[in-house]
Amino acid sequence: MFPDDSLRPADDDHPHEECGVFAVSTPHGEGIAQLAFFGLFALQHRGQEAAGIAVSDGNRVRMHKDSGLVSNVFTPTTMAQLNGYHAIGHTRYSTTGANAHRNIQPFLVETMHGPLAVAHNGNLVNAGALREELLAKGFGLTATSDTEVLTLMLAAAGGRTWEDRLERTLPAWKGAYSLVVLAKDRVIAVRDPWGFRPMSVGRLPQGGHAVASETCALNTLGCLDITEVLPGEIVTLQGGEITRRQALAPAVNAARCTFEFVYFSRPDSVWAGRNVHHVRQRLGEQLAIESGVDADVVIPVPDSSIPAAIGYSRQSGIPHNDGLIKNRYIGRTFIEPTQDLRDRGVALKFNALAENLAGKRVIMIDDSIVRGTTAGPLVKLVRDAGATEVHVRITCPPITDACHFGVDMGHDGDLMAARLSVEEMRLLIGADSLAFLSLEGMNLAIEPEHGGSGVGYCNGCFTGNYPMAVDEAPPKLSFEGALS
């Protein structure tokens, strides 16, 4: 996406959001597009490249999608066209396929069974083989996303109902998928049997139901009786009715993504019965237990590290304060900065509060170091504000391996921890000390009752041990050749 590293956003040292999906069905159809809009708006943090909504009135599907933020893509004029009873939506960060208009979701096709629209959060590790099968059968592909592969496979599947067709197709898909499907008279949600990505369903107070990647979107709409879509489960929403069907047995070893708790999910979301904010506080507490250091103040790198800094402060007894103020909009601008400003790097994104840092020994809490492009400039920013010492603490283990299940962390060669020891990383970023949370400590903070075993979670990016073979996993841009 950023062929010239100088054009990367100032916070590009984080793993990138994977996408958000949303679906809603009501018996009355009033304000269906508005419900979808506000559901996606609550999931904006999961992807800012593009957004789309498809709506069915029972006969015909209408869709609008484009590049940009949800609030820019949808206007009163475009929303006025989206009338119906059933809707799905998507907010995108590209994880397979380039950031190109042809890859914006939902994908909409006409089939012998009527219109079909699909939106997807996750990555299939066998997408390349599935794509080749479609091409060999004479299918024409117009995009370079694995979501198009899912859509075409489903469109061609046999079966009496869309639920039957899904059940027949699911066994061929290996990897992560939290999927929403729009047919002319219903919406369907399905989650992979490993449970990589979150997905929940709730009842709308005015009638009907909604499905979303995170519970925060359902809470925004006032949903009641919120529960998880189970791994391997198909959930059908049709007006005021909801039906649930266990299409695939859940995997023996579940593989929830730990990074949902560390960084991705909104802090007010709940997953696996756990509030994300509280888990992040426990990550900070565990970090203080494992790698405490004498200091005068604990500061977070906003925003995802704020709960962890609170937890670190509470456990260590060292006061917590703001040390960095974040400009939340600079990463979304379409105006290219001058070379002078570009050279200032993180100063475009963060300002230091010298009054809280001058003469202080500072502990700076961040959620992760990926490429290492931001940590060094942030340490310098804090030092330039007058800090006498800067100790960096990270709320997860070193990221040594790429993700193949829907998180854009870059390739193994891009990852700082894959190339350098912790001490070499410390010297490179210029910190007085650097420490990462241990794998056991992170798992203990997420699920204390399992004693740090990590049972039920995917920690492949920290260990290289994935829940399934990833030899076939395609690089992000591997399908771009002919359609570039």
The pLDDT assigned to 331 comes to 55
Q: Is residue 462 part of a domain?
A: no
Mean model confidence pLDDT for the chain: 90
> 326 and 388 share a domain?
yes
Q: What is the pLDDT of residue 10?
A: 41
Residue 260: DSSP 8-state: I
Mean pLDDT of 447-475: 88
| Alpha helix positions (H), 74-145 | 76-80, 127-136
pLDDT at 117: 98
Structural contact between residues 184 and 209, judged by C-beta atoms closer than 8 angstroms: no
Both structure tokens of 338: 């001058």
Judgement on whether residues 213 and 67 belong to the same structural domain of the protein: yes
**Residue 279 CA, distance from chain mean position:** 17
Percentage above 70 pLDDT, the chain: 88
- Residues 162 and 280 both lie in one domain: no
Q: Alpha-carbon distance 474 to 223, whole Å?
A: 38
Least reliable range by pLDDT among 146-150, 213-217, 224-228, 475-479: 475-479
Q: Which two tokens stand for residue 252?
A: 């023996």
The answer to whether the CB of 216 falls within 8 A of the CB of 3 is: no
> Is 336 a residue whose pLDDT tops 90?
no
Residue at which a domain ends, from 223, 255, 287: 255
Question: Is the confidence at residue 473, as pLDDT, over 70?
Answer: no
The CATH number of whichever domain residue 197 belongs to comes to 3.60.20.10
Of 19, 216, 257, 403, catalytic: 19
Residues 338-390 pLDDT 10s? 666 666 678 788 999 999 999 999 999 999 999 888 999 999 999 999 999 99
What pLDDT is attached to residue 330? Answer: 61
The reported pLDDT for the residue numbered 335 is: 56
Model confidence at 449, in pLDDT bands (50, 70, 90)?
A: confident
Output 267 or 453, whichever has higher pLDDT.
Answer: 267
Q: What is the DSSP letter of 115?
A: E
Residue 478 within any structural domain of the chain: no
Based on the domain organization, do 22 and 166 belong to the same domain?
Answer: yes
Give the CA distances from residue 447 to residues 169, 356, 450, in Å, rounded to whole numbers and listed in that order: 33, 34, 6
Last-in-domain residue among 193, 220, 255 = 255
Q: Give the range of the structural domain holding residue 387, as residue numbers without chain letter.
A: 275-452
Query: 437 and 336: one domain?
Result: yes
In a domain, 260, yes or no: no
Given the structure tokens 């100063």, which residue do they identify? 347
User: In terms of domains, do 211 and 118 share one?
Assistant: yes
- Angle, CA of 368, 289 and 360, to the nearest 5°: 70
Q: Where are the alpha helices (DSSP H) in 234-366?
A: 259, 276-291, 306-316, 339-343, 354-357
Closest by Cα among 108, 119, 103 to 49: 103
Report the half-sphere exposure of 4 (CA within 13 A, side-chain side). Answer: 5
The per-residue pLDDT for 175 is 96
What is the band of 9 on the pLDDT scale with cuts at 50, 70, 90?
Answer: very low
Q: How far is CA 192 from CA 101, 172, 195, 247, 258, in A?
A: 27, 11, 6, 10, 16
Is 472 among the domain residues? no
Three-class SS state of 273: coil
If pLDDT is split at 50, 70 and 90, which confidence band does 327 have?
Answer: confident
3-state secondary structure 439-466: HHHHHHHHCHHHCCCCCCEECHHHHCCC
pLDDT value for 337: 60
- Rounded alpha-carbon distances, angstroms, from residue 153 to 135, 188, 214, 470: 11, 16, 27, 21
Angle at 231 between CA 49 and CA 18, to 5 degrees: 15
**Cβ partners under 8 Å of residue 323, min gap 6:** 297, 299, 300, 352, 353, 356, 357, 362, 364, 382, 385
Q: How confident is the model at residue 44 (pLDDT cuts 50, 70, 90)?
A: very high
Residues 278-298 have a mean pLDDT of 98
Answer whether residue 329 is part of any domain.
yes
232 and 321 housed in the same domain: no
Given this model, what pLDDT does residue 334 score?
Answer: 52
Distance CA 29, CA 23 (A): 13
* Of 255, 286, 306, the domain-final residue: 255
pLDDT of the residue at 450: 79
52 found inside a domain: yes
Q: Write down the H helix ranges in 174-329.
A: 215-220, 259, 276-291, 306-316
State the pTM of this model.
0.90
Q: For the chain, how many structural domains are there in total?
A: 2
pLDDT value for 106: 97
What pLDDT shows up at residue 99? 52
Q: 206 and 285 in one domain?
A: no
User: Do 87 and 217 share a domain, yes or no?
Assistant: yes
**Is 357 found in the same domain as 238?**
no
Could you read off the pLDDT of 159-197 as tens digits, one per residue?
999 999 999 999 999 999 999 999 999 999 999 999 999
Residue 413 within a domain: yes
Do 283 and 232 share a structural domain?
Answer: no
Active site residue 216: no
Q: Beta-carbon neighbour count of residue 14 at 10 Å?
A: 21
User: What's the average model confidence in pLDDT over 225-230?
Assistant: 98
* Cα three-residue angle 318-322-327, rounded to 5 degrees: 155
111/228 same-domain check: yes
- pLDDT above 90 covers a percentage of the chain that reads 80
Mean pLDDT of 280-294: 98
**pLDDT value at residue 53:** 98
Which CATH number goes with the domain that contains 356? 3.40.50.2020
The pLDDT assigned to 372 comes to: 86
User: Is residue 323 a contact partner of residue 297, using CB atoms and an 8 Å limit?
Assistant: yes
- What is the mean pLDDT of the segment spanning 99-114? 90
Confidence class of residue 74 from pLDDT cuts 50, 70 and 90? very high
In a domain, 464, yes or no: no
